[in-house]
Structure 1
Amino acid sequence: MKKVLISAVAALLLFSCQNDQAESSDVNANADASARRTCATQEVFDAQLEADPTLAIRMNEIEAFTSKNLLTGRLVNGKIEIPVVVNVLYRTAAENISDARIQSQIDVLNKDFNALNSDYNSVPALFSGVKANVGITFVLDQIIRKSTTKTSWGTNDAVKKVAQGGLAPTSPTTKLNLWSCTIGGGILGYAQFPGGASATDGVVIDSKYLGLAGSASAPYNLGRTATHEVGHWMNLRHIWGDANCGSDLVTDTPTHNTANYGVPAYPHYSTCTGTPVEMTMNYMDYVDDNAMYMFSQGQKNRISAIFATGGPRAAFGI
């Protein structure tokens, strides 16, 4: 277990998950199973910091607030319902995803954040004492559609800006905005951490990986890209802390030496101090959709702190 380290570097992360087609000697190069989640965090972070140098100050303030609330126990009761606005930007019929697929994604979020996912009971006994029901629900509030000629949107938040052909967020202080589009570059999705500008707040998911029964095949066809990205939107770091043996600022997750991919065999030992068994099935790792199925109690507490009075997402709280 790790110490919680609060630093400006750790507080300045905007997360982006990327699927990188890596060569493999034992996997067919044309198969989707050869894809690996990787991260474009530094590229996206550098752009945001250059555009808004005050981001560092805001993120440090949020981290200090989160730490204080964890220590004092002044957390909300977890009974939070989050309205979700889904902004669909499409060029082709396939990108114009159906209402049913959108609802299936909301259903996945509700299962994963309320420990109702069918694989929740697959959590190993070693972690059974810290697996958590986050207790936050999601309700589809509105679907907004816009036809576009763009073939890809990238990660510079153009999809969120009307002047660049995108759709601005709707009531971002009280609603989670989710954009569905073709991101490009093999990127599955990305999220904005609490503390960023409200004009770009929310989560972006490539339309191929949103919901169930989409055009994507395994390993990213179970809607867990959104679960992972919404976790970031709720102030969760990657479980390996985006550094070799880094800290995710959560005390009950083992120290990971780096990201995990695919479906790791259990137990998978870290190379970090103490060689702990890694929590590879955590939603904040980079494993395949069917290999991630839990949040920890520490992650739940960290999420709860942002909804507390005075927190960056207090408007969603009770």
Structure 2
Amino acid sequence: MRKIFLATAVFATLVSCMEEESTTKDEQIFSTDKRGCASHEVLQEELKANPGLAITMNEIESFTEKAIREGRLVNGKIEIPVVVNVLYKTAAQNISLAQIQSQIDVLNKDFNATNSDFNQVPDLFSGVKANVGISFVLQNVVRKSTTTTSWSTNNAMKKAPKGIAPTTPATVLNIWCCNMGGGILGYAQFPGGASSTDGVVIDDNAFGTTGTAAYPFNLGRTATHEVGHWMNLRHIWGDATCGNDQVGDTPLHNTANYGAPAYPHYSTCTGTPVEMTMNYMDYTDDRAMYMFSDGQKSRMLAVFASGGPRNSFAQP
């Protein structure tokens, strides 16, 4: 287990999750390869564009640590209105309302510990598995036909004239669904970034549980992972060898895990702890991730506390 501390290196504003496509004869498969992340490259671009962002995010880290230490977490209902922005070139990419609702349903289950695989959490981690207690409600769907074949991590999908501008991002979680291209599953903006680009982007092949959603990313967990980032969670391995994710009850991971690792999977870090490979903030397949920890819950709730960067979402 690692101790929470303020780290000035955790200023990333976007997280991109990547995969490579392949197919088999027996089932539609979006990727049999591992997820990856372009966070370092995106971080450098964001900091070049806005040097003051590092200061802002450091202040958020300081606030988060203090709020957790003093128990000043949100004490009211958190119900997140969601607007899904669909950008499509093909009919298939213009995903159905049923597919969109399936993603909202997954978010509600995963963030309220009602997912059917929550009972698979090993006994070793049963004492820290968390019901985050945050709900999501679909407020609106905005659709736009586009000539763009694929999008990248430059936020073009969030801007006119090609994309769709976010709806009131101070009080609405905007999710863009589009063909990302380049093997990208999705990415999220951490608290502290520009409101004009705030939200989460998900590839249509990793969105929800039906329609264009394709194995092994067809259970809606890409959005769970990215919304975790939107609520200020880091990757469980801290984006470094045996790195720090700013959470005290997650074991040290030497690096990301992929696929569906057999339990127990031991870390090569100090103490060789059993890794929490089933955590939503690892890089395993959708079928292999099914829990947040109590420490992650506290970190997420801190952003909604009075004075927190997403307090405008909290309800009295």
State the match for 2:165 in structure 1: 168
State the match for 1:258 in structure 2: 255
What is the distance in 1 between the residues matched to 2:29 and 2:136?
33
What is the distance in 2 between the residues matched to 1:12 and 1:148?
29
What is the distance in 2 between the residues matched to 1:104 and 1:31?
19
Q: Which amino acid aligns with 2:280?
A: Y
Aligned partners of 2:244 and 2:252 also within 8 Å: yes
State the match for 1:2 in structure 2: 2
What is the distance in 2 between the residues matched to 1:11 and 1:89?
29
TM-superposed CA distance for 1:33, in Å, is 5.4
State the match for 2:89 in structure 1: 91
TM-superposed CA distance for 1:10, in Å, is 1.6
Aligned partners of 2:16 and 2:39 also within 8 Å: yes
Q: Please give the secondary structure, in 2, of the residue aligned with 1:56.
A: helix
Q: Please give the secondary structure, in 2, of the residue aligned with 1:179.
A: strand
State the match for 1:212 in structure 2: 209
Match of 1:226 among 219, 223, 226: 223
What is the distance in 2 between the residues matched to 1:33 and 1:89?
22
TM-superposed CA distance for 1:217, in Å, is 2.7
Which stretches in structure 2 are left out of the alignment for 5+ residues? none
Aligned partners of 2:19 and 2:31 also within 8 Å: no
Aligned partners of 2:204 and 2:213 also within 8 Å: no
Q: Please give the secondary structure, in 2, of the residue aligned with 1:132.
A: coil
TM-superposed CA distance for 1:34, in Å, is 2.3
State the match for 2:144 in structure 1: 146
What is the distance in 2 between the residues matched to 1:223 and 1:270?
27
The verdict on how the C-alpha distance between 1:11 and 1:47 changes in structure 2, with shifts beyond 3 A counting, is: closer
Q: Which amino acid aligns with 1:66?
A: T
Task: Name the TM-score, length of structure 2 as normaliser.
Answer: 0.96
Aligned partners of 1:78 and 1:135 also within 8 Å: no
What is the distance in 1 between the residues matched to 2:76 and 2:219?
25
Aligned pairs for 1:64-143 within 5 A:
64-77=62-75, 79-143=77-141
Q: Which amino acid aligns with 1:254?
A: P
Match of 1:275 among 248, 272, 293: 272
Q: Please give the secondary structure, in 2, of the residue aligned with 1:61.
A: helix
State the match for 1:25 in structure 2: none
Q: Between Structure 1 and Structure 2, how many residues are aligned?
A: 311
What is the distance in 2 between the residues matched to 1:92 and 1:33?
21
Percent pairwise identity? 68
Q: Which amino acid aligns with 1:150?
A: T
Q: Please give the secondary structure, in 2, of the residue aligned with 1:62.
A: helix
TM-superposed CA distance for 1:32, in Å, is 4.8
What is the distance in 1 between the residues matched to 2:224 and 2:239?
18
The verdict on how the C-alpha distance between 1:300 and 1:49 changes in structure 2, with shifts beyond 3 A counting, is: same
Q: Please give the secondary structure, in 2, of the residue aligned with 1:36.
A: coil
TM-superposed CA distance for 1:79, in Å, is 2.4
State the match for 2:245 in structure 1: 248
State the match for 2:15 in structure 1: 15
What is the distance in 2 between the residues matched to 1:240 and 1:101?
31
TM-superposed CA distance for 1:13, in Å, is 4.9
What is the distance in 1 between the residues matched to 2:234 and 2:277?
14
Which stretches in structure 1 are left out of the alignment for 5+ residues? 23-27
State the match for 2:37 in structure 1: 39
